[in-house]
A and B are shown apart, each in its own frame.
Chain A
Amino acid sequence: MIEVLSMGGHAAYVWPAYGITLALIVFNVWAARRKLANALTAARRSSGAAQPRSQPKVRQLS
């Protein structure tokens, strides 16, 4: 265990590299989820506020 942690004296280089990579992945996952949650909230709020774009008002031709 100690052997793995010390990385043959290069612990100061190996562990930060792994740490930054892990942090980056976690951050990306968090950022994507937050973006989705925000977008869904905004979409819910806009429901009813605006006429849906794909549903234009149609005037009955008589």
Chain B
Amino acid sequence: MKLPRWFHLFGSPPFVYRLASALSPWLGAIACTLIAVGTYWGLVIAPPDAVQGEVYRIIYIHPQTAYVGMLAYVVMAVTAGIGYIWRIKVAHAVAVSAAPIGASFTFCALVSGSLWGRPTWGTYWEWGDPRIMFETLLLFLFLSYLALRAAFEDRDKADRVSAILAVVGVVNVPIIHYSVLWWNTLHQGPTVSKLDSPSMATEMLIPFLIMIAGFTFCFCWLLLNRLRAEIVERERDTRWLQDALQGGRA
């Protein structure tokens, strides 16, 4: 099978570096605008919830951070798998870049969920809740991926071994998503992902979706910035980078 030219281009560090550098400011501007609008809309304009009152407003950041954590894991697993199978170093660089972002957003989702749980469920933490447990497992998967990488001196070896962990761990992502359906515990069921009939009022749904879009752009922005750094580290002694550095283009 003959792959199209653009497909091969994404395996080229100089191409990806330049693309990431060109896209980064745009993604940053879009992310900041969407998050600013969504936050104002969610905190000030959207009406209070009939049952939960004002504390429900965590819904404009908590599901979004959790979703970015899962998105980061899927990106990490897919790119690590591609890197492992086809030995593409840019793919490994993407996987490494996604891990710390995913870890921090997953941590944040746990904290914001816990801050919502106290006034709503009456507890910060519930060991018996499957969604909390699998989300915590996601955090530990990110951390063990990073720890495993750090254990290797040789970057190529770290890439290959950690890729296996990343790919195996991806099974946790659908478990997190369906955990509220499979087990009936504290965490509420899906609200928005039932696309045919989301159980949220329109005036609350709009800022919710703006924040989803904003956090997605924010993830891409952060990922590209980390990816640029990762590529520079890996390509330190290559000619294209040294030429770009001397020409002031890096």
Contact = CB atoms under 8 A, between A and B. Distances in A.
Contacts of A17: 58, 61-62, 111-112, 115-116
Interface in A1-24: 4, 7-10, 13-14, 16-18, 20-21, 24
A13 B116 contact: yes
B229 interface: yes
Contacts of B136: none
Contact of A20 (B57, B111, B237, B240): B111
Given A17-B111, A39-B232, A50 B58 contact: no
B222 A54 contact: no
Given A21-B61, A21-B65, A52-B239, A43 B232 contact: yes
Given A20-B112, A55-B239, A10 B229 contact: no
B250 interface: yes
B153 interface: no
Nearest to A14: B57
B54 interface: yes
Interface residues of A, number: 36
B57 A7 contact: yes
Contact of B105 (A14, A24, A29, A33): A24
B39 to A, nearest CB: 7
Contacts of B92: none
A20 B229 contact: no
B43 A54 contact: no
Interface of A: 4, 7-10, 13-14, 16-18, 20-21, 24-25, 27-29, 31-33, 35-36, 38-40, 42-44, 46-47, 50-55
Report, nearest first, the 7 A-B pairs whose CB atoms are least far apart.
A8-B54, A32-B225, A39-B232, A35-B229, A36-B229, A10-B55, A17-B112
